[in-house]
Amino acid sequence: MEITKLIREKAKEYRDYTAECLSEMVKIPSVSCDEKQVVLKIKELLENAGVKDVRIDGLGNLIARVGKGPKILAIDAHIDTVDTGDESQWATSPFSGLIKDGYVHGRGTVDQEGGAASMITAARILTEMEYGGKYSVYFTFTVMEEDCDGMCWEYLINEEKLVPDFVVITEPTNLGLYRGHRGRMEVELYFKGLSAHGSAPERGKNVIYSGARVALGIEELNENLKTDEFLGKGTITPTLFRTVSPSLCAIPDQARMHIDRRLTWGETGESAVGELKEICGSDVTIEVPEYDRPSYTGTVYKIEKYFPTWKIEGDHPLVQAGLETHRQLFGESPRVDKWTFSTNGVSICGRHGIPCIGFGPGNEVYAHAPNEKVPVEHLEKATAFYALLPWILGH
């Protein structure tokens, strides 16, 4: 209990410091593939906080370590953001980093540089306490999640050989404890028809009609997909349909339809493609695209855009350690739930089976929305949680 009390006091003492760290990050635009400057700022903040082991890997992820225990706990935040959208919808500049009325305002405060700021302070606290427990605590500030969730961790696991025993994902949970979410995949459907003059459509094969029939089949499929008691129902929907024709008075002979597929427990990329084959027939080419954009370091790390479903059970030791950490710090059990969106957990747990929990500051309703803001109180509590969890896991 002495450790819990000390951590709680330090998190409170550094409350304003944490908010200021976040403010400094928010002032630096950091959309996916353009995170270099915010990564350098976080490196500076960590080194100024006394953290000794800090490095940047070949993809551009920032990795800091506190402790030298034989087991590995990773605490992860992606530090890229989406763009601002229509700035006229923002009450203050998206990059103001304004600290006002108990909130830090700006793009990325919730999704999810708020988690990163709390991680910086937690690393400072563990360093000052000379943490020497059973875990090496890795604080990972990862890139390109908004563009391709989990790809950064494919690089960390496969190329950097960082294979944790447990991971905490600091995406926004409104200070709830999360243990999974649906997977997702992107699918491209390519239609081939036969062009003809618009005055004689019977001579051609119009891909708009082909696409419409497939879209109606997808609508019906969506109503009949699997449901999981915890994760909820799988979904599928077309999000784009684009045709090509020789002119506006000619039958289009090519089309592309983009599909957004959310996968519940028991659904896989293979099963999802199989369902589409039944709807599309042999005239439609089905492809799961590959992500191949270069990171800010210039590294290209290709990955198929299939992001597996994941969850761990409520009685898992990591979930139980998270519950105990919360009870010791705040005197109550947290809400246990799941994300509606996707996170780096698709790689960490979905592909590699490494147990994950989520605990993060901010309400996800502000993610990707104008007037994004995070409560400073949440930053303080998340800091305490990240600093205490290694001690709880080590006992």
Name the active-site residue from 76, 113, 145, 380. Answer: 145
From the CB of residue 353, how many other CB atoms can be counted at a distance below 10 Å?
9
Alpha helices in the chain (DSSP H): 2-13, 15-26, 36-48, 113-128, 151-158, 207-223, 269-280, 317-330, 345, 376-393
CB contact set of 85 (below 8 Å; sequence gap of 6+): 370
Active-site residue, 145 included: yes
Indicate the residue type of 357.
Answer: I
Task: Record the tokens describing residue 38, joined without a space.
Answer: 């915010």
Residue whose C-alpha is closest to residue 26's, from 373, 297, 385, 375: 373
Gyration radius of the chain over CA positions: 23
Q: How far apart, in whole angstroms, are the C-alpha atoms of residue 274 and residue 280?
A: 10
Orientation of helix 376-393 relative to helix 2-13, angle to 10°: 150
Residue found under tokens 């992500």: 291
Active-site residue, 278 included: no
Buried b or exposed e, range 241-254, using 16+ CB within 10 angstroms: bebebeeeeebbbe
Q: How far apart, in whole angstroms, are the C-alpha atoms of residue 214 and residue 235?
A: 16
CB 24 within 8 A of CB 103: no
Task: Record the tokens describing residue 79, joined without a space.
Answer: 């530090």
N-term to C-term CA, the chain:
12
Name the active-site residue from 57, 76, 80, 149. Answer: 80
Task: Give the pairing of strands 99-100 and 166-169.
Answer: unpaired
Sign of CA dihedral 190, 195, 201, 203: negative
Cis peptide upstream of residue 37 (ω within 30 degrees of 0): no
Residue numbers annotated as active site: 80, 145
